[in-house]
Structure 1
């Protein structure tokens, strides 16, 4: 009988390969840093079975059926516990923060290997998810001798983290409920007979200055247009990455010329109790039983995911109760406008507008790029009927509308509007029209654009630094590292360590992308919309894929792309760098033309006609 070893990610170290004479190993975890350490220190006798490409193919195969399964769960749970269900992790399906769908894909890949009897004797399986760990053990024990490494699993960080996180969130909720945060900001008042339009957006230290000037990065220019059209604009702030004190934030908001709707000002003690009841309901429905997907029971995976998010959504549930109280006031409100990514922060707002603001429009804005494997972006057929969604969704262009329609979205729900966040691309194409042959292209300069999410940023840093080190001579290179503007400093410091021993000029870049790109000749990135910026500058873009997690690549939707440069392994990335550093100017001009043509056909310009889509939605 063959022996199979199974270990949790946090309890696996390189010594296991020699200690247990491992012949081959599999890695089912998005933790690339741990994978890198294992792979770098594994002996040549232990063959690694790369699941990277198989994982992406399996995800595309399973995506629609998985969305439909969650859609049926939504029908079951949302009727009795609407806010509790719609603010839960399983209902949200956000694969950038939780990994339910990824774990389902792992389970299917494992099952394929198991059913085909492709495990060698003394194989090692490394797993992150505890639910998947148990599912794998139960299946393997029917056919093999199974040895678990690193027991007891209940002492691992993987097991303890969600419990500790839940306790921490409960403490945060109680602290928030009793602290009266931001209650020093004035209540709303009507300054004229004009109708109000509420914009819910994300606010950080960088978006509201010390003198109260607001720079909304999600709806740039929209509030000025609405004011010009005679509407009174009110902001509903979602705060993120705040380093300033509450007192300082209050000062800045009070200096702002726009009014802010602060939920705490509209809550009474009964509302806090009701919020707590919703959160308790979320705990009650956190155990999901007998959920089948493609003949496999995925209940444990979904239950694990559901419990990781308990007590995390109270701020957004509070917005719902506060807005319900606002609906009793005598304000003339035309509409609520907010970003549309179909994530849980949006659901309470959509639900409340529908329930308590009759005749008031809710308008979602598809503000960012779309990723094929980000399952939350694509509601199931029945969810378009049952899920709290905006009355209308403004798309940034026909390219994005077509993607939604291919996923079964109802055409009448969508309007095409301005690409507010991509206006710099459109302006650049119009400004440089006809002048591409005069462009001066740089040589031997590589810009690495790091995404916000830590796992993706680390993986990109490790792979790109490894590929550059493999170059025969990299002393003439200039490397620029451009972190996401919201990346924590500690993450950037960790990333820099992977480039310490590279023998070339390297710098951290913090200037705007429009100023940076012309200074480089090659762009390397992962999970980023910056690929479109690179194309119109004539920079070939290498899109680095993930080795053991889902790719979030907006360029996967580009059909017949002649500049489709993708790499998953360090060796593939090295080969592409060598090739594209030699890209001729004539080839770059061809790339510029392709990029500009794509931008013009895909993104809608920002002007008074297109901005009308945020007002005239009927």
Structure 2
């Protein structure tokens, strides 16, 4: 500590509280500290343990500013890594190149580093304690501190080693073992369910292969397919007598595959079941994928002055090793289809630019070079969902689609932010067609007998709990007579949510709503939401939207990206309660403005469904693009 005037204590969430207190000299009775991690439960537990003498620095709004400032630099940094490392196909199936902030933590950790660097310029916001969930983030902070002549004491070294063993070896091994078990189970189920069933004739080439996610509720018992992602499209293709195969990406089944395979077999929809096409060698290729990833040496460069090579290596070992397993199978599937002579005119891909999409594109390009790959983004884009924006390095590596279809011209302009080499065209906004027809949008059918606040929850249960707890803290300060409808995400059920929140802690005022989002919105006077695109539909209907930001995690406010007047942002219980009371007391003239903004928002984001706007799905209108 010689010649170093400043010091920081650095630790993982589990530490000896007395040891921390002995290391930190409290000035003015308090010490500032930072929490860099995603776990709401760990953070709140830690705040309780530290007590009032340790003041957590609120970075909730600050990280929005930082993520906006460094977003372009980060994407260009990944672009450069792609050019340096992209000769190996395994690179494109890993988490680093994906830029998917729901899976990869690299961008989030870079935001933490930038936050720390900026806070250090202000003496009053210099933290004495930094708690991190990432082992390698602590290493990067140590390097940063050394360059700034700051002494850092890292607690729990032995515990860090145990965390490494868990993250680098135990968790990846468990994931690999689960993947192998799932493969075996799916293979057996596929064999059993095809007994007595007529196999698809692969010599009858489809005009279109439609790539879409399939959930359990998408297929009825008699096999009728209700595509949540492409409503109306199947009926349209049938009317046009266009032969279509569906490539189902199964989601949310755990180990319960028998029923869904049975329903796919009996369905009139032609499902492309991978087990009917893949060979034993394809499965071996997927199983040995982790070894190829671990052998890959990554050429890393600095980002905004930070040496984050430790973070990149951690990401590669802990996540990239297993996340590309299914990608390998999809890649091999489309190679095999090409080998047996399948040559569709188009592949329509539900495109999130994830590893699965890239695998499909690479496999189709090699196996079916004449087939055009049309990527569709039938949703609203959030700026912090970095993977949704294709980049120039992806185009150069030929892992980008041939065409992009978006829900509006505005969406086309946004998605071309990092490359204009992929033609883009607006197309019918299939999932939002009801917004052009719903009686509620014409000012009818929204007469409530009671004041209702609708809470639209995100897909992550932990995020949902954080939002509900933030609201609960101020329930008693909200005017009486207000009902709170809670609409969970389809990816989890009510029991999962209540158990995570705590059944004994669940307020009586919280009423679960099990209908669809449109029905819920018909009842709402105010919508509270966090990191879910359903808030856009609420705003289109002219309903005031309150966005509740997370404290230490990247936010996805789909409305503020477009126009900050479309929502009110809150980052604490006090702000949320004040906003709710304010919105219930708005004069009619201001409520009318929400409706006017909603009409403009709908026309900006969505294209109505008609014959002309459906034609690009057939590929007929893409030649001139």
What TM-score do the two structures reach when normalised by structure 2?
0.90
Distance 2:55 2:258 in 1: 57
Change beyond 3 A, Cα 1:363–1:47: same
- Is 1:56 paired with 2:67? no
Change beyond 3 A, Cα 1:408–1:148: closer
3-state SS of the aligned residue for 1:234? Answer: strand
Change beyond 3 A, Cα 1:55–1:432: closer
Task: Verify the 8 A CA contact 1:13 1:38 in the aligned structure 2.
Answer: no
Change beyond 3 A, Cα 1:300–1:151: closer
Task: Verify the 8 A CA contact 1:11 1:156 in the aligned structure 2.
Answer: no
Distance 1:345 1:604 in 2: 27
- Is 1:65 paired with 2:76? no
Match of 2:610 among 577, 585, 607: 607
Deviation digits for residues 398-448 of structure 1 (CA, Å, limit 9, x no counterpart): 22112123x1331652111111111222222xx456x42885256532111
Tell me the equivalent position of 1:125: 130
How far 1:43 moved relative to its partner?
3.4
Unaligned ranges ≥5, structure 1: none
Tell me the equivalent position of 1:30: 38
Alignment map for 1:94-493 (pairs within 5 Å): 94-114=100-120, 123-140=128-145, 143-154=149-160, 160-176=166-182, 178-179=184-185, 180-184=187-191, 185=194, 187-189=199-201, 195-242=206-253, 245-285=256-296, 287-309=297-319, 310-405=321-416, 407-410=417-420, 413-428=423-438, 431=439, 435-436=442-443, 439-441=446-448, 443-469=450-476, 471=477, 474-489=479-494, 491-493=496-498
Task: Verify the 8 A CA contact 2:343 2:368 in the aligned structure 1.
Answer: no
Task: Verify the 8 A CA contact 1:199 1:233 in the aligned structure 2.
Answer: yes
How far 1:211 moved relative to its partner?
1.2
Distance 1:227 1:190 in 2: 19
Task: Verify the 8 A CA contact 2:432 2:606 in the aligned structure 1.
Answer: yes
Change beyond 3 A, Cα 1:298–1:496: closer
3-state SS of the aligned residue for 2:111? Answer: helix
Tell me the equivalent position of 1:572: 575
How far 1:330 moved relative to its partner?
3.5
Tell me the equivalent position of 1:556: 560
Change beyond 3 A, Cα 1:276–1:514: closer
Change beyond 3 A, Cα 1:141–1:382: closer
Task: Verify the 8 A CA contact 1:12 1:126 in the aligned structure 2.
Answer: no
How far 1:480 moved relative to its partner?
1.1
- Is 1:545 paired with 2:561? no
Change beyond 3 A, Cα 1:11–1:224: farther
How far 1:496 moved relative to its partner?
4.4
Task: Verify the 8 A CA contact 2:440 2:522 in the aligned structure 1.
Answer: no
Tell me the equivalent position of 1:583: 586
Moved more, 448-457 or 593-602: 593-602
Task: Verify the 8 A CA contact 1:534 1:541 in the aligned structure 2.
Answer: yes
3-state SS of the aligned residue for 1:362? Answer: strand
- Is 1:594 paired with 2:597? yes
Task: Verify the 8 A CA contact 1:522 1:540 in the aligned structure 2.
Answer: yes
Task: Verify the 8 A CA contact 2:544 2:594 in the aligned structure 1.
Answer: yes
3-state SS of the aligned residue for 2:559? Answer: helix
Alignment map for 1:515-534 (pairs within 5 Å): 515-534=519-538
Match of 2:518 among 514, 519, 524: 514
3-state SS of the aligned residue for 1:524? Answer: strand
Change beyond 3 A, Cα 1:294–1:25: same
How far 1:34 moved relative to its partner?
2.1
3-state SS of the aligned residue for 1:341? Answer: coil
Q: How many equivalent pairs are there?
A: 605
How far 1:464 moved relative to its partner?
1.6
Task: Verify the 8 A CA contact 2:336 2:367 in the aligned structure 1.
Answer: no
RMSD: 2.7
Task: Verify the 8 A CA contact 2:403 2:423 in the aligned structure 1.
Answer: yes
How far 1:95 moved relative to its partner?
0.4
Deviation digits for residues 448-473 of structure 1 (CA, Å, limit 9, x no counterpart): 1111113321221221212324x1x5
Moved more, 372-381 or 85-94: 372-381
What TM-score do the two structures reach when normalised by structure 1?
0.91
Tell me the equivalent position of 1:76: 84
3-state SS of the aligned residue for 1:68? Answer: helix
Change beyond 3 A, Cα 1:73–1:379: same
Task: Verify the 8 A CA contact 1:292 1:298 in the aligned structure 2.
Answer: yes
Deviation digits for residues 158-181 of structure 1 (CA, Å, limit 9, x no counterpart): 762453221012213433455524
How far 1:42 moved relative to its partner?
4.2
Distance 1:461 1:156 in 2: 33
Change beyond 3 A, Cα 1:551–1:15: farther
